[in-house]
Structure 1
Amino acid sequence: MNRFAYRTTGLAIKTIAGLTRARLNIHGMENIPHGPTIFVVNHFTRIETFLLPYHLHRLTGTPVWALAAAELFVGKFGRYLEQLGAVSTQQPDRDRLMVKTLLTAEACWIVFPEGRMVKNKKIMEKGRFMISYAGGKHPPHTGAATLALRTEFYRQRIAGLAHSNPGEARRLAGLFKLPSVDSISRQPTCIVPVNLTYYPLRARDNALSRLAGHMVEDLPDRVAEEIMTEGAMLLSGVDIDMRFGDPIEVTGCLSCQTVQSDIRSSSPIGFDDLIPSRKFMRREALKIMRRYMAAIYRLTTVNHDHLFASCLKKTPVSRIKKANLKRRVFLASQSDAGSGNVYFHNSLDRDQVHLLTDDRFHKFSEFMDFAEEKKVVASYGAILEKDAARMATVFDFHRSRIDNPIAVIANEVEPLTRLQRRISRLCWLPGFWLKRKVARLLIKRALDDFNRDFDTFFVSGTSKARDVSRPFLIKGDRRRVGVVLAHGYMAAPAEVRGLAEYLGKMGFWVYAPRLKGHGTAPEDLAGCTFQDWIDSMDAGYAVVSNLCRRVIAGGFSTGAGLALDLAQRVPGVDGVFAVSTPLRLQDLAARFVPAVDAWNRFMARFNIDEAQKTFVDNHPENPHINYLKNPISGVRELERLMSSLEPRLPQITAPALVVQSREDPVVNPKGTEKIFSLLGSTDKQMVLFNFQRHGILLGEGADRVYRTIGDFCEHIRENSRSPAPTDNEKQGNDGRGKQLNEKSGVRSQEPEGQ
């Protein structure tokens, strides 16, 4: 190999890589050994042949050569591959060259054990590795294992003969064109399994395919498919997860007496001579191959498309509820999380409750659009109709990535047997059981998160009792209507327990989530964002929506803002009530935040931590529930929440109730009036109480607030006596019920004795 050409070609590849939108994520770099290494890699695209050597060279600092299909070594492109360090699979001295470079550790090697590109990713047959290709099927190649064993055989043999038979040692060194016996590295050869996973996989017409079509008349289908698939990856943006597994050392496989006898033999042994230990080494090579093949596919980075495609494939019926498909994928994404048995794409690291609420990251919608485009499914409202034949039919091998990509995606995770069993069980569960599993999982997870956070941030004399802060569920008498009820800023679920119990006596199911950062210590809240609170609210909604047919969202103060936010984003919310919503704050701490922030940034420039102000004192109406210190960052997040909510209020069309105290010392009633006027609901009401406090869900007169909210919830329940809307068909509740005041929808109440 021409080292100058290797370096200049590497610069060219670096330039190309910089022009693409592909994102390379590397995992397990600590598994790369320092000595001679054979990287065994799954083979799905042509670009791997020239991109992999470049990236592995950057990681190892050693030239990395690759075996490539002989058909590629034609013309300028063939010479380009040779400069890069690629070697034809049909080169006569291929094996001797590989052993020589591994003996001296002058280069590492890339080997694709499947032997060719596996475009349909079908590598399993009746539980065994069997590679599909255009001409049929074949088992994976043992070449990488055989070469590693042969390298170690000669490493040990030459080292031993250097003392007992120097002449034979020098002859073997000459056989491999080594300058001397001393040029052989003492580091053993290792095999490192590597998995490449591409996400998302979308083969579409692109600039490269159009350019090729103009330049080459009658472009062969095979070439066109590869340009469409890999061009889309390079130009449209794709995540490439490169994951390295534990290195496999082969030295121990040579310890048996039969092999050692050949290693120590004083008789001359040629590179291709038949030796007594040959059969044993073949068996060992087969064992090693099975080991690294299992490791390669165990390293697959599982993504949303894998889960959706697998659930579609394994669901035993053709008609599938969209909501149930989402539930199955949600539950599948929770299995083995963090255990190391399954490696998830980074998009699955975050909470997946969005699959059960608003699909805000478009994972479901984008996959469904793609599946419909490929005619794998047809959408009829809340129902999907699956074309089972398209999931099972064998398509033309070279067009499988274009014509049948959903099956290709499902095939990729077929070797992950534990995940496959999990998905199979979920696909056979009926809808009601899926709902129960989702609700139980979310309730348990909320309790586990609370206990972990409470133990982590507990401060004696500051933190409240666990019963004050723990999320809770109140069971109603029927599952027709449920309420997700959120507490306020710096508070805890105990703040809304009185209202929850009142609604529970009316027969409603009520779940009160704990907003992240609350119910523990102010230091916990200081590290949270309003998106964390939204996630807590979404999880609460998911609990109730899987327990009841209809859902009402409600909350106090910050919880009220979160309830309105939920009603705007999630079409499954049938009604919303908001108590003391902080669109505008009376509290001077809110005005104080910008100045404190500026001061903190100024102090941070000089690394003066002691002078930075993180908290201000809080004097709550309910000190047995609320924090006594208010984190400045928390007020800022509250303002961000309400700022993001205000322009979206007209999009809320569900029946709405807004409740406010006239003389609230924290929340400006004018802000509540603005909320009411902006709401897009035609069925809405605003109720003002003449209280002189913020926390109107506790203390004197709270029962009247309860009755107002209870009447509203009953109003929703009365309108729910008609058949409940199916999942994904809940599009708000425009016009249901009636206005309490035809002119303004506003009703004032004076509490008795005040």
Structure 2
Amino acid sequence: MNPFAYRTTGLAIKTIAGLSRARLNIHDAERIPNGPTIFTVNHFTRIETFLLPYHFHRLTGRPVWALAASELFVGRFGRYLEQLGAVSTRSPDRDRLMVKTLLTAEASWLIFPEGRMVKNKKIMEKGRFMISYAGGKHPPHTGAAALALRTEFYRQRLLDLMDKSPEETQRLIDLFQLESMEAVCRQATCIVPVNLTYYPLRARENALNRLTELLVKGLPQRVTEEIITEGDMLLSGVDIDIRFGQPIEISDYLGSKRIQKDIRDPGRIGFDDALSSRKHMRRAALKIMQRYMADIYRMTTVNHDHLLASCLKKLPVRHIDTDNLKRRVFLASQSDKATSGYFFHNNFEKDQVHLLTDDRYRHFSEFMDFAIEKCVVKNRGTSLEKDPARLAAMFDFHRFRIDNPIAVIANEVEPLTRLQKKISRLSWLPEFWLRRKVARLLLRRSLDDFNRDYDAWADPKVSKPPSIARPVLIRGDRRRIGIVLAHGYMAAPAEVKGLARFLGKRGYWVYTPRLKGHGTSPEDLAACRFSDWIESMDAGYAIIGSLCRRVIAGGFSTGAGLALDLAQRVPEVAGVFAVSAPLRLQDIAARFVPAVDAWNRMMERFHMDEAKKTFVDNNPENPHINYLKNPISGIRELERLMASLEPRLPLITQPALIIQSQEDPVVDPKGTGRIFKLLGSKDKQMVMFNFQRHGILLGEGSERVYRTIGNFVDQIGNAPLLKPATAEASPEKNEGENLLERSF
């Protein structure tokens, strides 16, 4: 290996990285042992041949040489690969060189056990590993295992014969061109399985492909496909997850008496001589190969595309309801990361409820746009029409990544049997059970989240009883319309429970979520961002959306702002009502925020953290519900929520009801008027009540507000009622029932 080639490659890769939008995520690199190491890696792209040795070298500090396809060793590029440490698969001295460099641990090796690029990612056939290629199929190669066994065989033989047979020891030293026995590594040989997962895979025509066609005429189809696929990865942005598995210690496979007899034989054994234990060695190589192949593909990093492609492939129908597909993918994403047996892309670290609301990260919509582009599905409005033949069709092997990428994506997770079984079950689940499963999961999770937060944050001296803050579901006797109803800032679901019961008596399902940071302690609220409240609201929408055909969003104060935010982001929301929405605050705490911020910055500059003011006193109208301390950071988050909402108000087109108290001491009624004016809804109304308080959903006259909201909901849900399902509660059990405490 030429060190200059490594440095040159480093510069080249840095240059490519500057042009590329690819993001490298390395997992469990600490598993790489210090001794002789062979990396076995799944092979999907040509660029892996020179990118991986460089990155592995940076991780280990040792040169990493690679076996590369013989057709690459042509002309100047071939000579460059040789300088870099790549060895042709047809090199006559290949095995001896590899064993020698491993014996001394002067270099590690990178081998692709499939023997070639697996462009269609089809590596399973009837439950067994079987590699597809242009000429047909073949089992994975055992070359990496055989090489590791030979290395460990000679390492143990040299150490064993060092004193017993100096003549044979010297012959082996000369054979492998070792300086002395001191050069032989005392650590055992290991194979480290490595998985590479690319996300997203979007093979399209790109600038690199067009430039190459201009410069080089008549490119072979195979080369064109590789430039399109791999150029798109580099230019359009792709996550590359490199995951290292547990090292496989090869000495564990050399324990048979026959192999140990050959290791200790003092006689001459040539490098190419047939060993008496060759059958045992072959069996050991096969076992090792099966182990590293299973480990490699078990470590595939599961992403949204995998779940969507697998669901499309397994769904037994042509016409697919879009919302139900989202529910299936959502449920597939909810595996326990610690016990599932597979690994998830870091996108799954976020709450996945966005799949059921606004798809704000565009995981669903971008995949579907790509599937439509590739003619796998057709958009039929609220449903999709799948072309099963397109998913199952066999294309030219070298065009597979371009012509049938959805099948490629589905093939990649085929070896993950537990995931496949889960997706199969979800794909056959009827809509009723699917909706029920989503609702139960989210309801249980909301209760678990509350219990965990309450245990972590509650202070017996100041915190309210859990019953004040626990989220509540009121069971209705119709599934046509349901309401997600959010409470206000520093409050809890008990604040809107009266309205929820009123609507429940009218037959509506109502869910009152607990906004993150509420119902526990002010310190918990101080640690939250308004995005946390949005996720709480989204979960509420997903629950009601799974129980009812249409959803109305409503809320009080901050909850009103969240309801308007939800209506803007999710066009499927049937209507929205907002009570005392806080576009402009006029209470004294809000006025103090700029001054307190300035004070805190000054104290931070002088390293006087103890002098910072993080809370102001709160004198609520309902002290049995609200916090008595108001976190400054919480007021700031509330203002950020409303600032982000204001320019989006014209985008809200659903029927809307705005309610405000004329003499609200907290919310400026002028701000409420501005909300009404900015709303893009054609069907909108504003109702002012002559109250002198902020909390108009509790206390004297609150039923007048309830009736106004009830009439608004009735107008939207004026269609004939659906017959209640047998699993629903009877109407007399509706009022105030907390579904989280019993099954349904």
Does the CA-based 8 Å contact 2:564-2:578 persist in structure 1? yes
Shift in Å at residue 519 of structure 1? 0.9
Q: Deviations over 1:605-654 (max 9, x none)?
A: 34322122211111111111111111111111100100111111111111
Q: Are 2:600 and 1:600 aligned? A: yes
Instruction: Give 5+ residue unaligned stretches, structure 1.
Output: 725-754
Asked if structure 1 preserves the Cα contact closer than 8 Å seen for 2:554 and 2:576, the reply is yes
- Structure 1: distance between partners of 2:602 and 2:59: 40
Letter of the 1:515 partner, please give it.
L
| Structure 1 contact 335–419 (Cα < 8 Å) conserved | no
Q: Deviations over 1:139-173 (max 9, x none)?
A: 00111111111111111110111111112111111
Q: Give the equivalent residue in structure 2 for 1:751.
A: none
Q: Which amino acid aligns with 1:695?
A: G
- Could you tell me how far 1:256 is from its partner in structure 2? 2.0
Deviations 1:313-352 (A, max 9, x none): 0001111111111111111111233436121111122111
1:688 paired residue number: 688
Q: How does 1:184-223 map to 2 (within 5 A)?
A: 184-223=184-223
Query: What's the offset of the Cα at 1:539?
Result: 0.6
Q: Which residue of 2 aligns with 1:75?
A: 75
Residues 420-442 of structure 1 show CA distances to partners (whole Å, capped at 9, x for unaligned) of 00000011111121111111111
Any residues of structure 2 matched to 1:365-384 within 5 Å, and which?
365-384=365-384
**Counterparts of 1:682 and 1:140, CA distance in 2:** 64
Q: How many Å separate the matches in 2 of 1:66 and 1:27?
A: 21
Name the SS of the counterpart of 2:5 in structure 1: helix
Aligned counterparts of 1:536 and 1:597: Cα–Cα separation in 2: 27
Instruction: Give the secondary-structure state (helix, strand or coil) at the position aligned to 2:547.
Output: coil
- Cα offset, 1:9, TM superposition: 2.8
Report the equivalent of 1:425: 425
d(CA) in 2 for partners of 1:458, 1:251: 55
Cross-structure match for 1:327: 327
| 2:702 paired with 1:702 | yes
Distance 1:514 1:50 in 2: 52
Asked whether 1:560 is paired with 2:560, we answer: yes
Matched residue SS, 1:546: helix
- Write the deviation string for residues 75-131 of structure 1: whole angstroms up to 9, x where unpaired: 011111112111101111111111111110100110000000000000000010000
Q: Deviations over 1:572-606 (max 9, x none)?
A: 11111111110110112222222222322332234
| CA apart distance, 1:6 | 2.7
Please tell me the residue identity of whatever aligns with 2:258. T
Tell me the residue number matched to 1:739. none
Percent identical residues: 75
Instruction: Work out the CA distance in 1 between the residues paired with 2:650 and 2:500.
Output: 28
- Counterparts of residues 352-371 of structure 1 (less than 5 Å): 352-371=352-371
Aligned position for 2:640: 640
3-state SS of 2:622 partner: coil
TM-score after normalising by structure 2: 0.96
Superposed counterparts of 1:550-699, under 5 Å:
550-699=550-699
Q: What amino acid sits opposite 1:405 in the alignment?
A: P
Contact 1:655 1:682 in 2 (8 A): yes
Quote the residue 2:58 is aligned against: 58
SS of equivalent to 2:590 = helix
What is the aligned partner in structure 1 of residue 101 from structure 2? 101
In structure 1, C-alpha distance between the alignment counterparts of 2:290 and 2:113, rounded to whole Å: 10
SS at match of 1:573: coil
Conserved 8 A contact 2:308-2:329: yes
Q: Report what 1:412 is aligned to.
A: 412
Show the 5 A alignment for 1:229-628. Answer: 229-339=229-339, 341-628=341-628
**Residue type at the aligned position of 2:328:** R
Q: Is the 8 A contact 2:21 2:237 kept in 1?
A: yes
Tell me whether 277-286 or 554-563 shows the greater mean CA deviation. 277-286
Structure 2 counterpart of 1:454, one-letter code: Y
Q: Secondary structure at the match of 1:334?
A: coil
SS at match of 2:586: coil
Cα offset, 1:563, TM superposition: 0.4
Task: Please give the alpha-carbon distance, in whole angstroms, between the structure 2 residues aligned to 1:580 and 1:352.
Answer: 30
Question: Across the two proteins, how many residue pairs are aligned to each other?
Answer: 723
Corresponding residue of 1:86: 86
2:345 corresponds to which letter in structure 1? Answer: H
Higher mean C-alpha displacement, 431-440 vs 38-47: 431-440
For 1:745, the equivalent position in structure 2 comes to none
Aligned to 2:727: none
Write the deviation string for residues 384-430 of structure 1: whole angstroms up to 9, x where unpaired. 11110110111110000010000001000100110000000011111
Shift of 1:247: 1.0
Report the 3-state secondary structure (helix = DSSP H, G, I; strand = E; otherwise coil) of the residue aligned with 1:551: strand
Give the aligned partner of residue 148 of structure 1.
148
Residue 20 of structure 1 and its aligned partner are, at CA, apart by 1.3
Q: 1:722 to 1:366 in 2, by over 3 A?
A: farther
Whichever residue aligns with residue 336 of structure 1, its letter is D
In structure 2, what is the Cα distance between the partners aligned to 1:492 and 1:107? Answer: 62
SS at match of 1:232: helix
Partners of 1:153 and 1:62 in 2: CA distance: 23
Matched, 1:159 2:184: no
- Partner Cα distance (2:597, 2:338) in 1: 37
Separation in 1, partners of 2:173, 2:586:
86
After superposition, give the CA deviation of every residue in 1:262-306 in whole Å (9 maximum; x if it has no partner).
Answer: 111111111111112111111111111111101101111111111
Structure 1 runs of 4+ with >6 Å offset: none
The residue identity in structure 2 corresponding to 1:315 is L
Aligned to 2:715: 715
Q: Which residue in 2 is equivalent to 1:125?
A: 125
Q: Distance in 2 between matches of 1:647 and 1:708?
A: 27
Cα distance in 2 for residues equivalent to 1:511 and 1:83:
67
Question: CA separation in 2, counterparts of 1:272 and 1:619?
Answer: 88
Contact 1:10 1:84 in 2 (8 A): no
What is the CA-CA distance between 1:236 and the residue it aligns to? 1.1
Q: Deviations over 1:29-79 (max 9, x none)?
A: 121112221110000000000100110000000000000000100001111
**1:723 Cα shift?**
9.9
- 1:606–1:193 Cα change, 3 Å: farther
Measure, in 2, the Cα distance between the counterparts of 1:243 and 1:5: 26
Between 1:604-613 and 1:357-366, the stretch displaced more is: 604-613
Cα pair 1:67 1:87 within 8 Å, conserved: yes
Give yes or no for contact 1:372–1:378 (8 Å, CA) kept in 2. yes
Shift, 1:505, TM fit:
0.7
Aligned to 1:34: 34
Contact map agreement 1:9 1:83 (CA 8 A) in 2: no
- 1:596 maps to a residue whose letter is V
Q: 1:711 to 1:410 in 2, by over 3 A?
A: same
Correspondence for 2:739 = none
What SS does the corresponding residue of 1:311 show, helix, strand or coil? helix
CA separation of 1:574/1:536 partners in 2, compared to 1, >3 Å: closer, same or farther? same
Q: Which moved more, 1:210-219 or 1:537-546?
A: 210-219
Q: Secondary structure at the match of 2:137?
A: strand
Task: Please identify, of 692-701 and 538-547, the stretch whose mean Cα deviation from structure 2 is larger.
Answer: 692-701
1:194-217 CA-to-partner distances (Å, cap 9, x unmatched) read 111111111111111111101111
| Contact 1:301/1:343, CA 8 A, preserved across alignment | yes
Specify whether residues 340 and 433 from structure 1 end up closer, same or farther in structure 2 by C-alpha distance, changes over 3 A only: closer
1:242 CA drift (Å): 0.7
Q: Which amino acid in the other structure matches residue 112 of structure 2?
A: F
The one-letter code of the counterpart of 1:506 is R
